[in-house]
Structure 1
Amino acid sequence: MPYSWTTPPRQEPQELHLWPHNSLPAEGFAALILGFFLFASLPLYGLLGTKLMWGLLPFMLASTAGIYYALRRNGRDRQILEVLTLSPERTHLSRTNPKGDVQHWESNTYWVKVTMHDKGGPVPYYVTLKGDGSDNREVEIGAFLSEEERKALFNELSDMVRDISRS
């Protein structure tokens, strides 16, 4: 799962790290680009030495460059890290976005409420945290996870917040 508790159970503060799933490692990226280039260039071998090859070559190179750019952009857009720190006194959530800016949310752990919205959110089974404070805002957590992962996160997070707020 693309999230993990970094602190052993029964120790405080508990820390949860969440990140988007990365299904294409660097080796797979290189193999995909090379494979696409080789397969796209196959029709050009029969046209070697003709003017038609020079007419088709820019389109093959442009499509290879387009795939390269799209995969690199997708990789940059997935550089998200959410860190949730739970202690008996405070709950703190920080989210590092792809561009490097960091968003923070904090509340008294006693008042933190973990909610799952089955419908009506940007994704099904949307998990949010709501606490005390002057702004009393509700923040999302793990929206980039799959549906099953969000359900598991909700159960784990609910149990952990309940256990820590009791201590």
Structure 2
Amino acid sequence: MPYRWSAPDRLELWPHQALSRRGFARVIAGFAGLGLLPLAGVLGTGALWGLLPFLGLALAGLWWGLRRNARDREIREVLETRPGLWRLQRLGPGDRRAQWQGDPFWLELRLHATGGPVPDYLTLRGGGRRVEIGAFLSPAERRALAQELRRKLPAK
């Protein structure tokens, strides 16, 4: 699962990492190689120069899309569950940071089966605000996380 308890009171969450640097290079090289195969039939003709820019645009689009996806996967969430204070920090790409904190006694943990931007949307409410946690996780992972967090909440 893309989350773990790094300490008894510290939970770290991150998006799935499906493509490594080596995988990125393989995808780009494979796409370029397969894209050049159909052009072998027009080598030495003027048609090659008419088709080559389209291959270049497609390759540039794939490169940009994979790079953008890698940047979006740089998100990290850290939840500290100390007695008397829960603190959630969201660390985004480009050093963007957001922080929320609340008293665990007054905290409301909700798993929204429907109505959220994703199925089984998990939110924490307290301190006058509602924040999402683990929106990049799969629905099954959010359900499991909700059960773990409920066990950490103090009995009311």
CA distance in 2, matches of 1:160, 1:24: 33
CA distance in 2, matches of 1:46, 1:53: 9
- Normalised to the residue count of structure 2, the TM-score between the two structures is 0.94
Unaligned runs of 5+ in 2: none
Measure how far apart 1:89 and its partner are.
1.8
CA distance in 2, matches of 1:88, 1:158: 14
CA distance in 1, matches of 2:133, 2:34: 41
Measure how far apart 1:99 and its partner are.
3.3
- 1:57 maps to which residue? 52
Measure how far apart 1:55 and its partner are.
0.9
- 2:93 maps to which residue? 98
CA distance in 2, matches of 1:15, 1:112: 17
- 2:108 maps to which residue? 113
Extract structure 1 runs of 4+ deviating beyond 4 A: none
- 1:127 maps to which residue? 122
Judge which range, 53-62 or 32-41, deviates more: 53-62
- 1:153 maps to which residue? 145
- 2:5 maps to which residue? 5
Paired residues of 1:2 and 1:19 also in contact (CA < 8 A): yes
CA distance in 2, matches of 1:43, 1:123: 41
Partner SS state of residue 25, structure 2: helix
CA distance in 2, matches of 1:98, 1:148: 26
CA distance in 1, matches of 2:15, 2:35: 31
CA distance in 2, matches of 1:62, 1:125: 38
Measure how far apart 1:107 and its partner are.
1.0
CA distance in 2, matches of 1:45, 1:128: 55
The amino acid that maps onto 2:10 is E
Measure how far apart 1:96 and its partner are.
1.1
Paired positions, count: 156
Q: Which has the higher strand share?
A: 2
Identity of aligned residues (%): 48
Tell me the C-alpha RMSD between the 2 structures. Answer: 1.4
CA distance in 1, matches of 2:119, 2:55: 39
Kindly provide the CA deviation profile for residues 23-55 of structure 1, in whole angstroms up to 9, marking residues without a partner as x.
111111110100000000001122211111111
| Mapping for residues 19-58 of structure 1, pairs under 5 Å | 19-58=14-53
The amino acid that maps onto 1:99 is G
Partner SS state of residue 61, structure 2: helix
